[in-house]
Structure formats: structure tokens, C-alpha cells
Copies of this chain bind each other. A is one copy, B any other.
């Protein structure tokens, strides 16, 4: 069929590849608890949902390629309130979701064949976006034993070679929920500086830190390496706006920002109405975050405590985001996750999970793992976990027989 070689290297999303099986199960009347995707059930702020009713412009015109002025101004306000008053409007590029911020960054700093260092398990869309952009991701392993915290500086540095153009880190981490310490962030900042690499930090879960765990934002380091630090951000999780497709990229490097704007001009603009809605973020009360973080922390505790009790399951306590990697007593978690959709149900209900292997670049890693997203309420979460545990028991018997 002569499609491109790079197309063949783009992996299916581990989060979405089982969707056809879920669709089929739903058609057969099975209710599915979605723990596979970080699509939160927490309400978006009322002020945003209500704003749709006040949309009165017709026609719906393009916005500026850098972003709609009202949203850029709201984002600037947001970063200033966090304490980063040096951020100016020209430092912000609005993107079509955090996804586009990642893709544009890859293209802007790497030529085909160049490499970016990531920590695995990692966010699977980094893999597909990197394949799309002909960028190679170099994995540095982290393990559950240490809560997926970073290895020593030397371990990281030994992967760097002349093709390496940057280090990409997600903090708080998807899929592990790890919140990096100041010391860890210091280390990656130091490594990037020493080897003249870009340091790309994805902070879309910035607010989601539990038990008072402090989030060390890369913004507080930006002025020390203004040309090489890039912040990736998204409104999807912070305000439960996944379907609005809005994120942004922040850089103090004007040369880079100019180039990124040229790429952005090539796709004209982000959604105009979406930006109008999102610009209301200045009116979201602080209580919104406090309540949501509390709710997520309760869910995290519940998932951790429930799974800790189960024999043969490996868990740790994630510190942030709303994900958790879980080690299961199965040989191939993808088979198990598919089986849960095709062959198993408990009272006509089952659970959808993301198989772990898709979160790894290294072959044969994560095959016994799954990622859980605790984005459904505690009642449902309890049932979903019960299904998982019962499913595991049945699956083990089936495999043995």
C-alpha cells in the first residue's frame, strides 16, 4: 500500500487500542468502568460551562495563531498568580491540547533521527507523537520499588549521546503519579545545562499533589536557563476540559518562540470558542482546586489500600496526578485487559484498564503491569476494583486450566 515507514512505527495507544472490544461489550449490555483513560468525572467549572450560553459571535472566525488574546492574557494571569511574574504574553503559545505542545516541541528541537531522553514508564502519546515526528525516545528506567523516582545522575547521563537534543520529564508523572523532589529537579536541570540539552517539562498535573507534597515547577528554574527550558501545559486536567483541546507551551527563548509560531501559523489557530470558554479560568475559585484535590487524594488512598490487601499484586503510593501503575500476577496484561472486556463480567459489569507495555519503550518491559486512572467516583471505583480482583482470580484459574 506504500504508506510511509514512519506510519508503521506509530504505535496504537495502549489507552485506546482496546476501545473496539469495549464498544462490543457495551453493545452486549455490559456496563464498563473506565479506568483506562485520564478523562476525569470531576465537573468543569460552572463559569466555563455557562459561558457557552453567552457565545454570540457569528460567524466563528479563526483566532490568532499564537492564541486568542483573552486566553493568553488569562494564562499569563494564572502563571503570575503562581508567582512567575516574569512570564509575558509573548512567552506563551496556545496549542491544540497538550498533545500539540508536545508534537511542536519535538519538531522544533529535533531533526529526524535526533533523540530525546525520557523516563519509563512514560506517557504513551510521547511515543506516538515522537514516531510521527521521526524523533527517537531514549528510555531511562525507573522502578516501582523507588516509587518511580529518578535514578542517580550518572545513570541518566550515560544514555546521552551526540544525537540527544533534550530531556523530557512529566511532573507530576503520568503514568506513575510520582511527584519529583527538589533534588531530582535540580539534577535534571543540572544535566540539561551541562550537556546543552533542552529540558522539556510537562506539568499538566501541576495542581494534583497529595498530602501536602510540594510541586517543584520548572518555571522556578526558567530564568536560569532561559533558552533551553520549555514548559508544556494543558487545561484538560486542571479544569476537566479534556474535550476543549487546549494547552500551551511556555518558553523564554524568542528565537524558538518565533519558529513555533511559524509552525502554528501553518495550522492557522486553536478553537476560537474553546479559547473563549477557557479564558474564564481567571474566575475559577480556589475552592474548586482544593475540593478536587481532596477528592482525588481520597480515591488514591482507596485504590492503594484496596490493592495493597490483594495477594500477588504490586503497588506503591503515588504522590500526585491521578494514575497508578499496578503489577499483576499475569504474563501479559494486554491479554488480561482484553479478556476482561471480551470474556468477563460481574453482574453485567466489567472494567477497562490500560495495559502496561505501551508505557514502555524497552522491549518486554511492563508486560505484567497496568495503569489505573482513578477518575471515577469512590463508589464506582470500589466496584471497579472488585471486578478487577475477581477477574484476576478467574483469569488465573483459566490460565492454569
* Chain A residues close to B by CB (< 8 Å): 1-8, 10-13, 15-17, 19, 37, 39-44, 46, 49, 52-53, 55, 58-65, 96-97, 99-100, 103, 107-112, 114, 125, 128-129, 131-132, 134, 165, 196, 198, 227-228, 240-245, 253, 255-256, 259-260, 262-263, 265-274, 277
Chain B hits for A267, CB < 8 A? 96-97, 99-100, 103, 125, 129
Q: Find A62's partner among B39, B42, B64 (CB 8 Å cutoff).
A: B39
What is the bound-complex CA distance between A169 and B274, given in angstroms?
A: 31
Contact B265 A244 (CB under 8 A): no
Closest to A64 in B: B19
The answer to whether residues A268 and B49 also contact, given A10-B263, A111-B6 and a CB cut-off of 8 A, is no
Query: Which of B3, B44, B131 is A255 in contact with, Cβ under 8 Å?
Result: B3
- Bound CA–CA A63/B165 (angstroms): 33
* B10 lies within 8 A of A61 (CB): no
User: Mind listing 28 A-B residue pairs with CB under 8 Å?
Assistant: A1-B253, A1-B255, A1-B256, A4-B111, A4-B114, A6-B111, A7-B262, A12-B262, A17-B265, A19-B64, A39-B61, A43-B59, A44-B60, A49-B60, A52-B55, A59-B241, A59-B242, A59-B243, A60-B243, A62-B243, A103-B267, A128-B263, A131-B266, A243-B272, A243-B273, A271-B271, A273-B273, A273-B277
Shortest distance in angstroms between A65's beta carbon and chain B's nearest beta carbon? 6
- Contact indicator B256/A99 (Cβ below 8 Å): no
A62 to chain B, nearest CB (A): 4
Q: Which of A64, A97, A259, A262 is packed against the most chain B CB atoms within 10 Å?
A: A262
Find out whether the CB atom of B245 lies under 8 angstroms from the CB atom of A96.
yes
| CB atoms of B10 and A59 under 8 A apart | no
Task: Contacts A1-B255, A129-B267 given; indicate if A262 touches B60 (C-beta within 8 A).
Answer: no
**Whose C-beta in chain B lies nearest to the C-beta of A7?**
B259
A274 CA / B241 CA spacing, docked (Å): 13
Q: Give A197 Cβ to nearest chain B Cβ, in Å.
A: 9
What CA separation (Å) do A259 and B3 show in the bound complex? 9
The answer to whether A125 and B44 touch (CB under 8 A), given A6-B111, A227-B1, A243-B63, is: no
> CA A249 – CA B266 in complex, angstroms?
18
With A4-B109, A4-B111, A244-B60 in contact, is A262–B134 under 8 Å at CB? Answer: no
Do the beta carbons of B112 and A112 come within 8 Å of each other? yes
A107 touches B242 (CB 8 A): no
